[in-house]
Amino acid sequence: MINTLHMLIKLSCKPGAIVLVLILALLSPDHVLGQEKTSLNDFTKDFSKALNKNFSEEQLNKMFRNYDKLLTPHSDVTRLTEHFKSNEISVFPLYDFKHEKLYTDNINKLLTSPNPNHRILAYLVIASSDDTSKEEILVKKIKTEKKEGNLLWAGMALLYLQCDKTTPIFDFLVKNEDFGDAHMLPLFIHLNKDSLQQTAYKRISNEDVKAKVLAAQILSVTTLNAKTEELLKQAVKNWDFGIKGFAIYSIKALQIGNLLETLRPLLDSPKTRSISLQALANSPTDADQNYLRHLTAGNDTLSSDILDCFYKSQKPENIKYWLNLLQSKLTPAGYRFFIFTQPLIRSDDVLPEIQKALQTIKNPETLGELVRALEGRTDDKSIEIMIGLLKNTNTSVRYWTAKTLENNNSPKTKAPGVTDLIINGLRDGN
């Protein structure tokens, strides 16, 4: 039998899987019964019954289904289910339970039980009760548990308790996390940043490739200092091409400067060109910025990776430069960008350049996406520009302009002629 709890932790970060598990849970007769068995009083009765040495996987799964809000408040599935029912869910719903005699007398027995179902129940209850006194035991468990489900829930308990013993948790993740389908890593990177940084320093030169990669990723969410900069630049120079990109990504995220010497040799490789350009675009150093602008000179058509490095930058001046490139250069066939991936494109600072670009650019695919950056704008100039685009000869431009104006509060959008243009534009989408 597949352990329901094990399946949940493996699937909880996959949107499609969330829906699947949720549907299965809602259709389950046990879930229907469980809707009436969610009080703490009922839970304590069933917790007492669970102390039986023959406590089975089926009984554990039933407790999970009946008390998902109490046992797995950290699960995306639980939170999504309760959101659909308009219910709030406590961060530590068993916080007071850990002070009760039933808990204090038995939690260590469950933790040391030869029954793996007991140990999983213990990990769930410890996490849900915010019992940080058990962190040392949990750290030992992620080194000694043999069953995968037990390992995962012991690790999840440490992560949910925000344990600051990040090095053993790091080693646990390297051994047990699938980085291509990470579900524990998002919790890990929210642990104590100073502790994470020290762990990364210890592991970035590890012989294990996964350890190197995770260490580089961790540094991207910590505070930049000279040591971090030096280690990441060394990684870029010395690591194999297949993993250099992870170090370059952290250099980009931390906006490290003085990158030309390190990154220019990597611009000829398809494995490292795109991320290297993006790191240069985030650099605070004039030499790096000037080099990128030099790459745009003398070419009528720019490559997608050159355009993207400016568009994906965290610097408003690079977004403005990108907008100028869209007006002065030809974009490559099939070039795509998405407004929702770049929050700076909606900023007041960039608005004048957006308005100018929408009046100058002729490419309908570019116009149709770029106009969405004006969503919610009610100033006269933005409204006039969008009304003009409602009359564009391209159906896609008219449609996306109409969608952008659909719920706009400007009085000018309520005028009869404009209302008709918006209605007709929305029909173009069909």
Give 168-197 pLDDT, tens digit per residue: 999 999 999 887 777 889 899 999 999 999
Residue 1: the pLDDT is 35
Work out the pLDDT band at 91, boundaries 50, 70, 90. confident
Cβ contact 308:322 at 8 Å: no
Please compute the mean of the pLDDT values over residues 145-152 and round it to a whole number.
Answer: 94
Cα(first)–Cα(last) distance of the chain, in Å? 48
Work out the pLDDT band at 81, boundaries 50, 70, 90. low
What string of H, E and C letters represents the secondary structure of 3-26? CHHHHHHHHCCCHHHHHHHHHHHH
Cβ contact 92:162 at 8 Å: no
Smallest CA-to-CA distance from 5 within 90, 116, 92, 106 is with: 116
Work out the pLDDT band at 74, boundaries 50, 70, 90. confident
Work out the pLDDT band at 45, boundaries 50, 70, 90. very high
Residue 410: the pLDDT is 96
Work out the pLDDT band at 76, boundaries 50, 70, 90. low
Residue 32: the pLDDT is 40
Smallest CA-to-CA distance from 50 within 36, 33, 34, 67 is with: 67
Please compute the mean of the pLDDT values over residues 210-219 and round it to a whole number.
Answer: 97
Smallest CA-to-CA distance from 389 within 304, 373, 316 is with: 373
pLDDT in tens, 320-342: 999 999 999 999 998 999 999 99
Q: What is the DSSP string of 73-124?
A: TT-HHHHHHHHHTT----SSTTTTGGGSHHHHHHHHHHHT-S-HHHHHHHHH
Kindly state the tokens that stand for 108.
Answer: 């260590």
pLDDT beyond 70 at 35? no
Phi, psi angles (nearest 5°) of residue 71: -95, -30
Predicted TM-score of the model (pTM): 0.84
Please compute the mean of the pLDDT values over residues 340-345 and round it to a whole number.
Answer: 96
Cβ contact 369:340 at 8 Å: no
- Paired strand residues for 258: none
pLDDT beyond 80 at 344? yes
Residue 28: the pLDDT is 47
Residue 79: the pLDDT is 58
Domain extents in the chain = 1-160
What string of H, E and C letters represents the secondary structure of 365-429? HHHHHHHHHHCCCCCHHHHHHHHHHCCCCCHHHHHHHHHHHCCCCCHHHHCHHHHHHHHHHHHHC
Mapped onto helix, strand or coil, the DSSP state of residue 298 is coil
Smallest CA-to-CA distance from 310 within 396, 298, 329 is with: 329
Angstrom distance (rounded) from CA 219 to CA 390: 47
Work out the pLDDT band at 300, boundaries 50, 70, 90. confident
Neighbours of 1 (CB within 10 A): 7
Angstrom distance (rounded) from CA 353 to CA 359: 10
Phi, psi angles (nearest 5°) of residue 372: -65, -15
Close Cβ partners of 32 (under 8 Å, ≥ 6 residues apart): none
Mapped onto helix, strand or coil, the DSSP state of residue 344 is helix
Mean model confidence pLDDT for the chain: 89
Neighbours of 418 (CB within 10 A): 19
Residue 78: the pLDDT is 60
pLDDT in tens, 364-415: 999 999 999 999 999 999 999 999 999 999 999 999 999 999 999 999 999 9
CA gyration radius for the chain?
A: 27
Smallest CA-to-CA distance from 260 within 302, 223, 295 is with: 295
Residue 75: the pLDDT is 66
pLDDT > 90 in the chain, percent: 80
